[in-house]
Structure formats: C-alpha cells, structure tokens
Amino acid sequence: MKKNYIFTFFVTLFISGLSFGQVIITEIADPDGTVPSSARYIEIYNPTNSAVDLVGWSIKRWTNANTTTTSSIDLTPIGNLGAGIVYVIAAQSSSTSGFEPFFGFAPDMIGGTGGAADSNGDDNMAIFDASDNIIDIFGVPGEDGSGTCHEFENGRAERKASDTAASSTWNEADWNVWADSTVSGCTSHTNSPRSAPTDFDPGTWIGETTSSEPSLTITSPADGSTIASTSSVDVSLSVSNFTVGALNGSGVDGHIHWTLQQNSDAAVTQPMKYDTNVESITVVPGNSYTIYMELVDNSHTAITPAVNKTVTFSVALPCDLILGDMASTCDTTTSGIDTYSGTIAFTGGNTGIAYTISAPNGVTVGGDNPDTIAEGSITFSGMTEYIESLITIVGGAGSSCDFSKTLASPTCVSFPIIEHFDYSVSSTLGSQNAWNMLNSGDEMLVAAGNLDYTGLEASTGSKITFDETGSETYTAFSDVTDGTVYASFLLKVTGFQTGSSIDLADGGYIAALAGSASGYDARLWVRPNPDTSGTTFDIGYGVESSNPTFTTATYALNDVIFVVMSYNMDDLTVSTWINPDAASFEGTAPTATISGVDSDTAAPAAINLFVLRQDSNNETPFIELDALRISTSWADVTPNDSTASISNNTIAGFSIYPNPITNHMFTLTSASSEEKSVTVFNLLGKKVLETRFSGIKSDINVSTINAGIYILKVTESGKTATQKLVIR
C-alpha cells in the first residue's frame, strides 16, 4: 500500500484544527451469566479525520450511585488513536479465560479486574482528556443504573451509527441498550423486557469508517508495568494501515526502527524490524527498560506525520522465599486475657539473602532463620489475646520479597464462659476485649443494675441494653465440633420497635449461635403478638433467615425471661428453652420449647461465636440482657441459686444485727472495706432488695419489704456469706 505522506501531513494539519480531539464510547458490554464476567469490555472510537493523541487521557467509572469516580484506565499507552480506529479495552483476558477465549481474539488493551471496563451493568463511564475534562460519557454520574435507561446488566449498550459527536452529557436517544430486565419509558431500550443479546461485536462498531492513517501499538509489555523476575521479555506489537516488510519489497511501505534503554543508560539501537513478529529481549531483574519504536519508510526516514510508540516497564528482583501455613495457639486458657504464640512456615531460604522480620512491640521472634535455613518455621511469642499481630518479612539487597502477614488471635477461653457485663456503666459492649463489632451504627451499651430469675444464681456486675437499628456484637469461644454448645441469658423486652412498617411476620432476631461472622446458624427471634399496640410477644428459634418456628405461649413486656439456646453438632439439632423448670438447673436438659434440625447443606464445621444483633426500627425491640453463660454442659449454663436454701460464710468478720429485725433496719459488718453486694431473696428465690456499699459497716434499710423470712446474700471480693433474715 503506497501513500503520499506529505499530502496526508498537510491534510491532517488542516483537519486537526477542526476535530478538537474527539473520541467517543461506542460500546460497553457485560456478557450474561453464561459468559465469564472477565469478558466485559469498553469499545472506543475516533470518528475524526485525524489521529488523536491520548497521552494523559483516561476512562473513569462511577460505581453504582457514586458521585466521584472509583476506578480508572490510563489511555496513555494507546498514544495516537488513528482516524476511524475502533479500540477494545477488556476487563481481563488470557489464552484460557476472559475476553480472548470467548470472542476468539485478543483485546487491544487490558483494563484490569475492578477497573473501568469491569462493570456489571449499573455503572457510569466517561472518557477524560489530559486536563481531566469529560469528553464523552455513558450514563448519569450519581445515579445507580439499576432499573434506569442506562442499565445494561447481562447485556450491552451500543451507540447508534447516527451519533458520532462526543458529549459530556448522556442522551439515551443516541443509544441502543440491552439487558435482562424490564424498564419502561426508555427510548434506548430495544425491547421490553430487554432480552440480553447474543451477538456481542467488539471491534466492529456499526458506525465506524475506514481510516488510511498508519498506527503503531506496543501491546506488550504494558506501559508502566512491573514484570515478575525473568531473564527475557516478549515484545508484541501491532501495525495498521502500513505494510511492514523487506526493504523495498513489493507493496511494502517501510519497516520499524526501535531502541532499548536500560535504566538511564544510553538507548541501544536494535536490529531493524521487517515484520511485526514478537521480539524477545534479554533483561536483568531489578532494572527498568524503555522501548521506543517508530515507523520509517524504505529510505529509513520517519514517516510524516510521525508514528511512534514508547513503553517503559520494570523487571522485579526475584523473591525466593515462599511463605506457607500460618498458625496461632493459646499459651494458656483462662477467663482473663491470655497470651498466644504463632508460626509461619517457609521454604526457599538460605539463598544468601538477609531478611528483616518485624513484629509488634513485645512480640519475640524465634524459630528457624530464613537467612541460613532453607526450610522451616518462624515463631512468634508473647502476643496478647484479642489483638492481631502484623508480621512483615522484607528481603534485603537482591530480593523483592515484601510480605505482610497477620497472625490472628485464637480464642483462649475455657468453658464455662460467664459474662456478667461487669464493665463501666455507659461504656459500649463492642469496646470490651472479649467482644467485637460487626457493621456500624448505634452500639450496645452497658447499663447499671441486673436481671434475676427465680431459682437461678443471682446476677452480679451490670447488664446491657440495645434496640432498633445499630451494630451487631459478638464474642468468640473455642471451636465446638461435636456434642452440644449451650448459651443462656436473662432477657427483658422493655418496649416494641417504633418503625412505620413493623415486621409482624418474623419480628427480628436478636441473638445467634454461629460458626462465622458472615453467617448465623441458629437464631432467636422476638415478634410482637398480636402487634405493637399490645404488651405481649412470642419467641422464635431456628436456622432460618425468615419464618422460624415460634412459641405457642406469649410473654409480657418487662417480664424477665430465662433463655437457653443450643446447637448439637452431632445431629445438627437446634433447640431453645424458654423459662425452663428450675428443677432441671444443674441437672440435665428437659424437653425443649422449640426444636428442629439444620438441613442446610453448608452446615457449620464448628460453632464458635455468640452474636447479639440490632436490625432496624421495624424488627428489633428494646432489649435488656444479662447473665450470659456459654458451655458444652447444660449444668454450666443453669446454675442454681444456692442462697435460697444454704447458709454459709466465707467473709472475714461478717455479722448482721439485729436479727430478727424490728425497726426496718439492720447493720452489716465485715473485716474488709472492699465493696459489698447485698441481696435479699424471698423463700421462692425472688430478689426483693439489692444494694451495694464500701466500708466495714453499713446500715441496711428494709422498710420496703413485708414481714417474713428471707435469705440474705452478701458478696465481697469473690467471697460469699448467706444467712436467714427475719423481718417482723
């Protein structure tokens, strides 16, 4: 193909003054579910009569309803986009997956996973020039495409052939849009419902024109890329509207001059290319390289206007060290905060490279040293429970190794777990060491006071409150992989949710046993019954995310309810007991109030979390919760209240007088000034008075209690005294 380059040059100069660098989006595709999402692409086109220099240009994407762009593709590597040239940018592709195996040819550029070309059909995209001005746009920034005129989910959007003018605002009349959903009132929709098309046509826009301008693209390596350590790199290129061949060969327009530069050294001229075959160049890891190519005519003179391309890339140093399994184990298992140790296995050590291993302050690094040991395990000790430890391993001179690994704290807690919520009043539950927050929003709070239940061991410490919309909070425990795990707590519903669309079918689940923070395996529900205008509710339990089994009985607001919930790992039975008979406490589990089987094919491998949940003001009522216990034993989570029948004294100097009480007052003394918890129970085990004081002596007023026989319980620094109390 012979061309008059001088004539073309003058024509180009004239027309370029009129074209204003227009480049347009012609097609955007999100192939349907039968095609890998990696086959997504964006197609752009130069509708002008001259090449457009795309150095500094980009395609940016607004994800969903974002008002600022969230991803970008640099168009600089394209260089000059020739007149009438269609250019396809794929999300990703290889010989085995993505764009190329589906469409049968390679895209012009790879935009990368999560990049601007990787859209699932409800995003907005635009071409930006080097000054960050919008040249052409598809969609409406700030508007989620779902259900709009610019949704192309599982389909594509193609510009009409009649529209070749770039625009910074989107006009639906300029587009044909296909997707797998129905949207009415859109001129862009080709049908309704819009059947997802099967005739994807990247690179062949119906409005394209034929260009006579030569173009040159270095398709690989990508400009600015870093290539894994290697001794050779393949250079691939493509040429359009210019025949490359033997010098002065028949029909040959010319050939390719090119140079290779290492770092800042002088560029080295390479043998002239008389073809467009792949070139393999020798490289040294740890260096950067610049490839420059230009089209020249048969007299070795650069054509006019000049057509050239520059690509710079680097080759990483090797990283011989390979990290393997990581593990963390508890040093001790107590009810307090313990320490844990960890290991990171490795291979590829002892290669002459020195490694710097960094760990948090107080953590001791030991075990095998990869500087001198080929294979082994690095050890870490002295880490604090509940705190993750970030470990970095960086190779020295001659290595590109730079690892960041997190050793997660195991749960160093023995059963039974007894949570009295003995934290500062008004503090948040999620800020306590043993608890973690999920999601954001209103947090659960520690509140003064306690809940108690007849026959159950009296509560101490504080309680927690939560309601309506907010965060979820969980505590972790050791994996339970067989047998049954139980969780018990005292529950008071003090008010119903206040939303405008109350869920009277399910209510909301407020607690769960789980094997992970991403899925709950047994849920406890509270549902107003009959509705929020009344004062009663029922309770549901099961593995379901909706429509659980509910109790036949109802319960009243402000009543204290004793709840036990369980998950049996042996037969996947989930059960709950609501106000179980006190005769079973510290014994064996009676018949459950609700029981069912987890038929989920993805049943948990272990149960290791107890979760408290706030959903919304339509689902979650106002809750008080106290005395949480978790164990693999029914007896552990149902401790008897021994004060109702047993007298004992382990407090030094403990005494009360007078007894019997005749003037509504008695005096309590001990040898220690430590804080004391004073509780009075009737003979049915119901708490009738509770107070606290510090010091060795205090007068206790019982004027609010009727005459009769009672049990007094005093707790001081973990020691207990109980005694019969007579009021006359």
Residue 355 to residue 373: CA distance in whole angstroms: 12
Which CATH architecture describes the domain 5-178? Sandwich (2.60)
Residue 57 to residue 44: CA distance in whole angstroms: 12
Per-residue model confidence (pLDDT) at position 12: 37
pLDDT confidence of 411, banded at 50, 70, 90? confident
Please check whether residue 136 is in contact with residue 127, taking contact to mean a CB–CB distance below 8 angstroms.
yes
Residue 196 to residue 377: CA distance in whole angstroms: 53
Number of other CB atoms surrounding residue 49 within 10 Å: 18
Interval 302-311 mean pLDDT: 93
Per-residue model confidence (pLDDT) at position 22: 85
Please check whether residue 353 is in contact with residue 321, taking contact to mean a CB–CB distance below 8 angstroms.
yes
Residues in the chain: 728
pLDDT confidence of 644, banded at 50, 70, 90? very low
Q: Label residue 558 exposed, middle or buried (CB < 10 Å: 0-12, 13-18, 19+).
A: exposed
Q: For 97-106, 111-120, 538-547, which range has the lowest pLDDT when averaged over its residues?
A: 97-106
Tens digit of each residue's pLDDT (9 = 90 or more) over 413-447: 788 898 999 999 999 999 998 899 988 889 999 99
pLDDT confidence of 335, banded at 50, 70, 90? low
* CA-based end-to-end distance of the chain: 120
More confident residue, 404 or 10: 404
Note the CATH number of domain 643-727: 2.60.40.3080
Question: Is the model's pLDDT at 334 over the cut of 70?
Answer: yes
Residue 552 to residue 62: CA distance in whole angstroms: 51
Please check whether residue 42 is in contact with residue 65, taking contact to mean a CB–CB distance below 8 angstroms.
no
325-407 has the same fold as 5-178: yes
Residue bearing tokens 């997190």: 406
Residue 714 to residue 678: CA distance in whole angstroms: 5
Tens digit of each residue's pLDDT (9 = 90 or more) over 313-323: 999 999 999 99
Note the CATH number of domain 215-315: 2.60.40.10
Residue bearing tokens 């972790």: 476
Note the CATH number of domain 325-407: 2.60.40
Tokens of 216: 């040159």
Tens digit of each residue's pLDDT (9 = 90 or more) over 32-44: 655 556 689 999 9
Judged by phi (left if over 0) then psi (alpha if -120 to 50, else beta), residue 265 lies in beta
Percent of residues, the chain, with pLDDT higher than 70: 91
3 state SS for 348-378: CCCCCCCEEEECCCCCEEEECCCCCCCEEEE
Percent of residues, the chain, with pLDDT higher than 90: 63
3 state SS for 328-352: EEECCCCCCCCEEEEEEEEECCCCC
Domain ranges of the chain: 5-178, 215-315, 325-407, 417-640, 643-727
**Rounded to 5 degrees, what are φ and ψ at 667?**
-110, 135
Residue bearing tokens 């306590």: 432
Question: Is the model's pLDDT at 305 over the cut of 80?
Answer: yes
- Would you tell me which CATH number, out of the four given (2.40.10.10, 3.40.50.2000, 1.10.10.10, 2.60.120.200), belongs to the domain 417-640? 2.60.120.200
* Residues facing residue 289 across a β-bridge: 262, 313
Residue 48 to residue 207: CA distance in whole angstroms: 12
Tens digit of each residue's pLDDT (9 = 90 or more) over 651-689: 888 889 898 898 999 999 999 999 999 999 886 667 889
pLDDT confidence of 11, banded at 50, 70, 90? very low
- Using DSSP, state whether 642 is helix, strand or coil: helix
Please check whether residue 592 is in contact with residue 573, taking contact to mean a CB–CB distance below 8 angstroms.
no
Amino acid (one-letter) located at 536: T
Please check whether residue 190 is in contact with residue 46, taking contact to mean a CB–CB distance below 8 angstroms.
no
Interval 493-513 mean pLDDT: 96
